[in-house]
Amino acid sequence: MYKNIIVPMALDHGIADKTIQIARTLLSEGGQITALHVHEAPENSVAVYVDENVMQNAFKRAKAQLEERVAAMPDVKAMIVSGHSGRTIVDTATSMKADCIVLGSHKPGLIDYLLGSTAARVVQHAPCAVHVARY
- Which pLDDT tens digit goes with each residue over 35-76? 999 998 777 666 667 777 888 898 999 999 999 999 999 999
pTM for the full model? 0.88
CATH classification (class only), 2-134: alpha beta
End-to-end C-alpha distance for the chain, whole angstroms? 23
CA atoms within 13 A on the CB side of 99: 9
List the alpha helices (DSSP H) in the chain. 16-26, 44-47, 52-70, 85-95, 110-115, 118-125
- Among residues 63, 73, 14, 71, the alpha carbon closest in space to that of 36 is found at 63
Domain ranges of the chain: 2-134
Other beta carbons within 10 angstroms of residue 26's beta carbon come to 17
